[in-house]
Structure 1
Amino acid sequence: MEGNRQDLMRLIQMRFPRLSKGQKLIAEYILKHYDKAAFMTAAKLGVTVGVSESTVVRFANELGFSGYPKLQKALQELIKTKLTSVQRIELSHDYISEENALKSVLKADMENLRSTLEKINNNTFEDVVNEIFKAKRIYIIGLRSSLALADFLGFYLSLILDNVRVVSTGVSDIFEQLYRAGEGDLVIGIGFPRYSIKTIEALKFAKSKNASVVAITDSLLSPLASNADFALIAQSNMASFVDSLVAPLSVINALVVAVGLREKDRISETFKNLENIWEEYNVYTYKAKQTNE
């Protein structure tokens, strides 16, 4: 039942007649305000509708969930691709104030990291590392807020490997940049709700060209994952207009480190040369050289 999130509203309506008086109040509130209920604790939801926290828990059980957190997760899955930026701003005002913004956001990001550590498949992670080394060419695509993640992954992989290209929006269309991708190549797509249609289409295009496809996304139900051979899952839930990219960035960081560990000698030589270049052209601040008097 918990997997049929798209039927959640219909389920609540079907179960409504058999619910207790207090549970009916919860049901009515969720049916009208599911976007807000999705980010309420059981206690907060109880206070909002005027019932006890235990009544909220029993309501979740009545729907077939093992606990309220499972119901809350189902609600979040239901809405996360549908909320506009304006709606997300309104939600953040309800649950994050200026006074508690720092703690609330840090705690939410910590939860995203914890959940990602539990969900991510280590065997899939190792498979992706192997695919990176097998690939003739590596294309990385991430648009909108995921562009920063694509650039980060591209920047560090390019320091280790010489066959990496970040697909970007600009003078040429993304399909023109992926035109030569084919069998033996790897396309890494990065995307989180609300998913960029261009990224999804790019992965479909890569699949049609027989390239291997990796998706870095939030769920195996993600449209990116459905067009990928391998999916690395990183949670990005955030009741705000700002996408939480802490967990995805951590997964990408781990990917870069894992690739680097296999190329220790090459990396050592590369950075030795780069340090000389950076110092010569004043790329970074350097301490004055020690001189022996």
Structure 2
Amino acid sequence: MPHNILHTIEQNMTSFSKGQKKIARYILENYDKAAFVTASKLGRLVEVSESTVVRFASELGYDGYPSMQRALQEMIRSKLTSTQRIEAAGDKLVGQDIVQSVIQSDVEKLEMVAQEASREEFDQVTDMLIGAKHTYILGARSSGFVAGYLHFYMHLLSQNVTLVENGAAGVLFEQLFRIGPGDVLVAICFPRYSSITMQTVQFAKDRGATVIAITDNKHSPLYQMADGALLAPSEMISFVDSMVAPLSLVNALLVAIGHKMGNNATRTFEVLEDIWNEYGVFGKTNEE
């Protein structure tokens, strides 16, 4: 996949057919809108057939229009304001069953992760966390919910796990000032990428810690800074960041860690079950 689709279009402009040049010019001038319209609508906008749009995507080296569209979305995702995201989603949702559209979009993201996630990198991240002297988990803004979820279960599996609370840079650094070699920082960040997350990651790297990124793609600035990474799309639906795929990948990570811990994980939960039962944490069921 080309790293910069607009550059690729400009470089190949002279080789395009008349219809393809119409598509190219529209994308170059309106890429924020083109990223969220169907092939059929893009064709109507520039007065060419849908098949011409599909062939244009192939001409650029993509395996179909959806792949080209994802490249556009990845390029602009970190640049759009919330208002622009609402406007971009507007045309896409007109006349659609919103429940069906949103859920179908999430299903597609899950399928993408299942097919494309690197098993080698997944195993590497799992081993990093099991071998960590101390694990710190950071997620700013909407990523904070994913961080909190990961921390909840990691804290049950290990006593050396800290959730880095969101706040001003100074407060974050104070929570991390003991981080060093042998420690792991799990940083969770999706577009629009939080600058405070990047600063905190750099702080941890400067002190010799290992950084694991949970982010959306290899173009993410967080991915470039990480020693290991888990990738899951968070394609926008209006102003909302979809965390379905990232949370599912985190679930897989937790299951893998528990599995590799074997009897250690079993013994931990045996102790917890005794505590929960003794203090009636979950109450009584009708059967009991």
Tell me the TM-score normalised to structure 1 length.
0.89
Determine whether 1:71 maps to 2:71.
Answer: no
Determine whether 1:25 maps to 2:58.
Answer: no
Report if aligned partners of 1:216, 1:233 keep a CA contact under 8 Å in 2: yes
- Change in 2 beyond 3 A, CA 1:36/1:283: farther
Q: Aligned equivalents of 2:7 and 2:263: distance in 1?
A: 58
**Could you list the per-position Cα deviations for residues 68-121 of structure 1 after superposition, in whole angstroms to 9, with x for gaps in the alignment?**
333222211221111111111112221125851111111111111111122211
Q: Comparing 20-29 with 183-192, which one deviates more in the overlay?
A: 20-29
* 2:81 counterpart letter in structure 1: T
- Change in 2 beyond 3 A, CA 1:23/1:183: same
Q: Which residue of 1 aligns with 2:102?
A: 105
Q: Aligned equivalents of 1:216 and 1:14: distance in 2?
A: 33
Partner of residue 81 from structure 1, selected from 66, 78, 83: 78
Q: Which residue of 2 aligns with 1:234?
A: 232
- Change in 2 beyond 3 A, CA 1:276/1:64: closer
Matched residue pairs, number?
287
Q: Aligned equivalents of 1:161 and 1:39: distance in 2?
A: 43
Q: Aligned equivalents of 2:75 and 2:116: distance in 1?
A: 19
Report if aligned partners of 1:119, 1:233 keep a CA contact under 8 Å in 2: no
Q: Aligned equivalents of 2:269 and 2:240: distance in 1?
A: 34
Q: Aligned equivalents of 2:264 and 2:10: distance in 1?
A: 61
Q: Which residue of 1 aligns with 2:87?
A: 90
Residue 276 of structure 1 deviates from its aligned partner by 4.4
Q: Aligned equivalents of 2:59 and 2:176: distance in 1?
A: 50
Report if aligned partners of 1:191, 1:217 keep a CA contact under 8 Å in 2: yes
Determine whether 1:202 maps to 2:175.
Answer: no
Q: Which residue of 2 aligns with 1:213?
A: 211
Q: Aligned equivalents of 1:127 and 1:21: distance in 2?
A: 49
CA RMSD in angstroms comes to 2.2
**Could you list the per-position Cα deviations for residues 32-88 of structure 1 after superposition, in whole angstroms to 9, with x for gaps in the alignment?**
321121122222211232211111123224444443333222211221111111111
* 1:237 counterpart letter in structure 2: E
Where in structure 2 are there 5+ consecutive unaligned residues?
A: none
Q: Aligned equivalents of 1:62 and 1:91: distance in 2?
A: 25
Q: Comparing 182-191 with 118-127, which one deviates more in the overlay?
A: 118-127
Q: Aligned equivalents of 1:222 and 1:210: distance in 2?
A: 21
- Change in 2 beyond 3 A, CA 1:121/1:13: closer
Q: Aligned equivalents of 2:156 and 2:22: distance in 1?
A: 58
1:1-293 superposed matches below 5 A:
2-5=1-4, 8-97=5-94, 100-170=97-167, 173-279=171-277, 281-288=279-286, 290=288
Residue 168 of structure 1 deviates from its aligned partner by 0.8
* 1:236 counterpart letter in structure 2: S
Q: Aligned equivalents of 1:104 and 1:238: distance in 2?
A: 12
Tell me the TM-score normalised to structure 2 length.
0.90
Residue 285 of structure 1 deviates from its aligned partner by 4.4
- Change in 2 beyond 3 A, CA 1:94/1:266: same
Report if aligned partners of 2:139, 2:166 keep a CA contact under 8 Å in 1: no
**Could you list the per-position Cα deviations for residues 180-204 of structure 1 after superposition, in whole angstroms to 9, with x for gaps in the alignment?**
1101111111111111111111111
- Change in 2 beyond 3 A, CA 1:31/1:160: same
Q: Secondary structure at the match of 1:153?
A: helix
Q: Aligned equivalents of 2:287 and 2:51: distance in 1?
A: 67
Where in structure 1 are there 5+ consecutive unaligned residues?
A: none
Q: Identity, % of aligned pairs?
A: 48
Q: Aligned equivalents of 1:110 and 1:123: distance in 2?
A: 24
